[in-house]
């Protein structure tokens, strides 16, 4: 009964009801979009962590200083393959260490060609990076020791060269050298620097050293970086320290001599990023909640105006037999109806806004059911909270005064 | 049978230090089926008396008995129910809900019916009931018109239909013709007279003597007291306003 009275009262004042709802609509939509953007950013960081591989450290060769001019990371050829094996052998926290030699070059298949990253690696690389094949196989021992001309390619390279056809067993040319494609990697996505990690051709480390980057080779067994994965549950800080110590020992660095390598705990960096994005998500939601609160105050404002404006109506209702609590529930139901309808429309607008953000700004978004439930629940609570005071005011009116009100 | 019986009814208002006696020891009875006019200058206490017998307000002291129910000690919820069951109100400003159809306006009191057969009605039955009342006041063709689409006289007839919808024992009209021209006033008063002739008790509060002339009894208030209570000479014809 009260619902139909309330709906009728709202219908009678369509414009005002609409404007009041607008506050809630915008508030709810803002909460939904902001939570979607916030959790989208969080999801992207999580994805990057997953893409990177868990518990991962990367060891880069250090810089070299020639006549006072300091080069960048990797200019010094300080890391060797044996460093990786030593780390794996001697530090108990380490699950696997994978030496890699990185470069780039033109890849040719048939009459199409593509410039991609070329990585010389060992089978450990795939374990360190949690990277699985979707077809084909990994390198065999004979191919590793015998510098076999076999390649495992990433999704981007496969798409650019082969389109939809199966790349496995095809012959490609890497810097002019023919290689047989033996495997296709699963999609890895963007790295945290925004690099396409799937734009890659992986060949055995020995092959890379002897047949591809050979001319540039300096020290025997040099590698450009080593991917190190610590065991699950191991203390990464401690593992990191041990790796550093071992490397300094192996490179005969003593006292205050600076490291001739750099060791980065990427997982840790990403975790810090994840924490930051979480804070941002909370902040966004908080700001949006403020607009929802303002919308709620808008409801209270309009309901107060409405109570004053409809004083005679209230007087009449009381005169013809309405009890105080009939009036209370009528105005309360009006406020709740406004905020609930506003909430539902806000969800639709929020969904649309989220879609627009994803389409136009190309931000990662994630529309969560929880945020929708939260926003609607919150708007209903706002209806009750901000509707109660005006409704109370209406219900406490005396019929004579209300009827006489001009 | 006695419908209204007041016994030493007193209503005082405190205005600062002063105490105003809006009603000062009023004792009177109104029988079922009477047509009573309550007259007096403004401030005479006639409106306060109407609020009192309309159960819109409680006396400061004294007692009031409406159709066998002692009103003086009722809670506001009980008063609301009592008004709903027994009294139909007609106001000077009609007090119809704006942008709401005539039939919905008339059906309004039925929404608040809590006891008796009227409380059991479905929505359709309520509208059917309201429709009958509108037909009774001659507005059977105007069910869906909103107040803005009706003339003043028609609006007051909608209000009368609304007063009738709960099958009350008493119609209380507060200056029912105050906002109407003399021709429509005559129509409205004729309608009230007709209702009285069908057995309805009607009490009209007015300061116009020609409106009071429709009644069969006139009670005159001054300074919160009844100074005159006498039967009217029968008006020979309805429409005797001119």
Query: So what's the pLDDT on residue B128?
Result: 93
Instruction: At B163, list the tokens.
Output: 């007063």
Chain A nearest-CA residue for B81? A321
Query: So what's the pLDDT on residue B237?
Result: 47
Rounded to a whole number, what is the distance in Å from the CA of A356 to chain B's nearest CA? 40
Chain B nearest-CA residue for A316? B95
Q: In the predicted model, what is the mean pLDDT of residues A358-379?
A: 84
Contact B112 A321 (CB under 8 A): yes
pLDDT at A274 over 70: yes
Distance of CA A64 to the CA centre of its chain: 36
Query: So what's the pLDDT on residue B240?
Result: 44
Instruction: At B141, list the tokens.
Output: 């063709």
pLDDT digits (tens, 9 = 90+) for A54-85: 788 888 887 666 666 666 665 667 788 888 89
Distance of CA A404 to the CA centre of its chain: 63
Within 8 A of B162 by CB-CB distance, chain A residues are 320
Out of B84, B100, B104, the one facing A321 most closely (by C-beta) is B84
Compute the half-sphere exposure of residue A68: CA atoms within 13 Å on the CB side of its CA. 0
Query: So what's the pLDDT on residue A252?
Result: 85
Chain B nearest-CA residue for A315? B95
Contact A5 B111 (CB under 8 A): yes
Across-strand partners of B217? B36, B231
Which one is the CATH code of B33-59+75-231: 1.20.1280.50, 3.40.50.300, 3.40.50.720, 1.10.10.10? 3.40.50.300
pLDDT at B242 over 60: no
Query: So what's the pLDDT on residue A340?
Result: 87
> Tokens 């997982």 appear where?
A267
Name which residue leads in pLDDT, A46 or B37.
B37
Instruction: At B46, list the tokens.
Output: 């006639």
Rounded to a whole number, what is the distance in Å from the CA of A20 to chain B's nearest CA? 19
Confidence category of residue A295, pLDDT binned at 50, 70, 90: confident
Any idea what DSSP says for residue A91? -
Across-strand partners of A65? A70
Average pLDDT, chain B: 90
Contact B89 A1 (CB under 8 A): no
Within 8 A of B83 by CB-CB distance, chain A residues are 319-321
Mutation choice for A interface testing from B55, B87, B95 by most A CBs within 10 A: B95
Contact B89 A319 (CB under 8 A): yes
Distance of CA B4 to the CA centre of its chain: 13
Contact A317 B85 (CB under 8 A): no
Name which residue leads in pLDDT, B27 or A296.
B27
Average pLDDT, chain A: 85
Q: In the predicted model, what is the mean pLDDT of residues A355-384?
A: 85
Handedness of CA A141, A147, A149, A151 (dihedral sign): positive
Query: Does residue B151 contact residue B157 with C-beta atoms inside 8 Å?
Result: no
Query: So what's the pLDDT on residue A129?
Result: 87
As separate numbers, helices (DSSP H) first and strands (DSSP E) second, chain A gives 13, 12
Contact A321 B76 (CB under 8 A): no
Chain B nearest-CA residue for A311? B95
- Sketch the domain layout of chain B as residue ranges: 33-59+75-231
Rounded to 10°, the helix A311-319/A324-356 angle is 140
Any idea what DSSP says for residue B67? T
Using the Cβ of A315 and the Cβ atoms of chain B, whether some distance falls under 8 Å is answered with: yes
Rounded to 10°, the helix B102-111/B152-164 angle is 30
Across-strand partners of B230? B218
pLDDT at A150 over 60: yes
Compute how many other C-beta atoms are within 10 angstroms of the C-beta atom of residue A279. 11
Rounded to a whole number, what is the distance in Å from the CA of B174 to chain A's nearest CA? 11
Chain A nearest-CA residue for B165? A320
Using the Cβ of A394 and the Cβ atoms of chain B, whether some distance falls under 8 Å is answered with: no
pLDDT digits (tens, 9 = 90+) for B87-102: 999 999 899 998 889 9
Contact A320 B81 (CB under 8 A): no
Query: Does residue A135 contact residue A183 with C-beta atoms inside 8 Å?
Result: yes
Residues whose CB falls within 8 Å of the CB of residue A308, separated by 6 or more in sequence, listed in order? none
Q: Is this prediction's pTM over 0.80?
A: no
Chain A nearest-CA residue for B107? A320
């Amino acid at each position: 009964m009260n619902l139909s009275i309330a709906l009728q009262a709202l219908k009678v004042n369509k414009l005002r009801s609409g404007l009041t709802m607008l506050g809630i609509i915008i508030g709810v939509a803002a909460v939904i979009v902001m939570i979607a953007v916030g959790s989208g950013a969080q999801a992207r960081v999580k994805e990057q962590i997953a893409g990177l591989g868990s518990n991962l450290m990367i060891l880069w060769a250090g810089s070299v200083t020639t006549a006072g001019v300091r080069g960048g990371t990797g200019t010094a050829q300080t890391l060797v393959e044996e460093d990786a094996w030593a780390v794996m052998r001697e530090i108990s926290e380490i699950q696997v260490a994978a030496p890699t030699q990185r470069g780039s070059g033109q890849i040719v298949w048939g009459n199409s060609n593509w410039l991609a990253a070329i990585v010389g690696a060992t089978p450990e690389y795939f374990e360190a990076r949690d990277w699985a094949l979707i077809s084909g196989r990994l390198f065999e021992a004979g191919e590793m020791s015998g510098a076999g001309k076999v390649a495992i390619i990433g999704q981007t390279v496969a798409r650019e060269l082969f389109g939809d056809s199966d790349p496995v067993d095809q012959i490609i040319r890497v810097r002019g050298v023919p290689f047989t494609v033996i495997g296709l990697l699963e999609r890895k996505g963007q790295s945290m620097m925004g690099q396409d990690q799937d734009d890659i051709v992986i060949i055995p480390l020995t092959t890379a050293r002897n047949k591809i980057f050979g001319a540039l080779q300096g020290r025997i067994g040099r590698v450009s970086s080593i991917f190190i994965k610590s065991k699950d549950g191991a203390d990464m800080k401690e593992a990191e320290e041990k790796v550093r110590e071992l490397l300094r020992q192996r490179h005969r660095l003593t006292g205050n001599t600076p490291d001739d390598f750099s060791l980065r705990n990427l997982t840790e960096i990403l975790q810090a990023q994840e924490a930051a994005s979480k804070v941002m998500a909370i902040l966004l939601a908080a700001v949006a909640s403020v607009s929802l609160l303002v919308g709620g105050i808008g409801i209270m404002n309009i309901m107060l105006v409405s109570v004053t404006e409809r004083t005679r109506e209230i007087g009449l209702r009381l005169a013809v037999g309405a009890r105080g609590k009939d009036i209370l529930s009528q105005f309360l139901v009006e406020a709740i109806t406004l905020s609930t309808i506003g909430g539902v429309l806000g969800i639709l607008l929020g969904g649309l806004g989220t879609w627009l953000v994803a389409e136009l700004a190309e931000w990662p978004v994630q529309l969560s059911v929880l945020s929708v439930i939260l926003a609607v629940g919150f708007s209903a609570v706002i209806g009750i909270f901000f509707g109660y005071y005006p409704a109370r005011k209406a219900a406490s009116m005396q019929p004579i005064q209300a009827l006489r009100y001009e | 049978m006695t419908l209204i019986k007041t016994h030493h009814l007193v209503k005082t208002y405190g205005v600062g230090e002063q105490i105003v006696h809006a009603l000062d020891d009023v004792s009177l009875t109104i029988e079922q089926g009477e047509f009573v006019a309550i007259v007096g200058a403004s401030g005479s206490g006639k409106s306060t008396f109407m609020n009192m017998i309309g159960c819109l307000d409680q006396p400061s002291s004294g007692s009031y008995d409406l159709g066998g129910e002692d009103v003086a000690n009722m809670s506001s919820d009980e008063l609301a129910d009592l008004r709903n069951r027994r009294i139909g109100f007609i106001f000077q400003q009609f007090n119809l809900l704006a942008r709401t159809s005539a039939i919905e306006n008339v059906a309004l009191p039925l929404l608040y019916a809590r006891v008796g057969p009227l409380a059991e009605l479905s929505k359709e039955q309520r509208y059917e009931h309201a429709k009958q009342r509108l037909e009774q006041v001659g507005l059977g063709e105007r069910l869906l018109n909103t107040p803005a689409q009706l003339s003043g006289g028609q609006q007051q007839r909608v209000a009368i239909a609304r007063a009738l919808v709960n099958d009350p024992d008493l119609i209380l009209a507060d200056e029912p013709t105050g906002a109407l021209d003399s021709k429509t006033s005559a129509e409205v008063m004729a309608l009230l007279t007709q209702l009285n002739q069908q057995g309805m008790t009607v009490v009209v509060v007015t300061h116009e003597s020609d409106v009071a002339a429709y009644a069969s009894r006139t009670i005159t208030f001054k300074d919160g007291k009844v100074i005159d209570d006498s039967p009217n000479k029968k008006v020979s014809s309805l429409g005797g306003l001119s």
